[in-house]
Amino acid sequence: MEEVEKVTISIMGRKYRVPAGLTILQAMEFSGYQLARGVGCRGGVCGACSATYRVPEDYRVKSGLACQTVVEDKMELVQLPFFPANRATYEVEATAPTEKTLLEHYPEIARCMGCNSCTLICPQNLEVMEFMSAALRGDVETVAKLSFECILCRLCTTRCPADEVQPYVAILARRLYGRHIAPPSPHVAKRVGEIMEGKFDADLAGMKEKKVDELREMYKSRDIEPQ
């Protein structure tokens, strides 16, 4: 049997030998860790598995999503399933999307140094500093559109010397845009009306009676709208 190539990594200060090519999450599980926190979709879209690591001959501390980052030999890593950051409290319905709204809720926006660390670390390759500049200008719509693919992993927040909370600013802008600025969608209103009228009650009741295998088959054979 051909021997599998392995690399040596350090997880929270303890060394392990794991197969090359594994992601950080896979390597941790291979090493015996049971991941109850800091793991979610495993597909790079939920932002739950942020990790920090160093690699040989590089003075920088690097960060990435553990489900997407492949381990390297002599990598030293630690997971950051949660990074503390200040989050404003607000009612979206009662919050008007004025030019001052974002700055009033997150005054630290004005401390931006323009270092671009937030953009460089973003695993989604978003122009984070650009939408934060738009936030400082009060341009809610631009912030919402530029940050649309933000997954709230908060890696940008870990690197910001001004203690900005870019993901929370972004989600406030998207909520305000969706509630107060974006034009209403007729097809959404129609579907909500159908739900309220009970059009799908019988179908849902029938699904509750089905076994898991039957539900899986229904999902696989479902009609998918053309892109």
- Residue 38 in any domain: the answer is yes
Q: How many residues does the chain have?
A: 227
Residue 116 lies in a domain: yes
* Residue 227 included in any domain: no
Do 90 and 72 fall into the same domain?
no
**130 shares a domain with 60:** no
196 and 160 within one domain: yes
In this structure, are 185 and 93 located in the same domain? yes
Tell me: the pLDDT tens digits for 82-139?
A: 778 889 999 999 999 999 999 999 999 999 999 999 999 998 999 999 999 999 999 9
- Please count the other Cβ atoms lying within 10 Å of the Cβ belonging to residue 9: 24
Q: Does residue 62 sit in the same domain as residue 94?
A: no
- Measured over the CA atoms of residue 64, residue 66, residue 69 and residue 75, the dihedral's sign is positive
By three-state DSSP, how is residue 159 classified? helix
In a domain, 213, yes or no: no
For the record, the structure tokens of 70 come out as 């492949």
Count how many domains the chain has. 2
Same domain, 89 and 196: yes
Residue 54 in domain: yes
Residue 113: domain span: 83-207
- Does one domain contain both 44 and 115? no
Q: Cα(9)–Cα(23) distance, rounded to whole angstroms? A: 12
How do residues 18-38 score in pLDDT, each as one tens digit?
999 999 999 999 999 988 777
CA distances from 138 to 96, 101, 131, 173, 195 (A): 12, 7, 10, 10, 37
131 CB neighbour count, 10 Å cutoff: 24
Q: 63 and 101 share a domain?
A: no
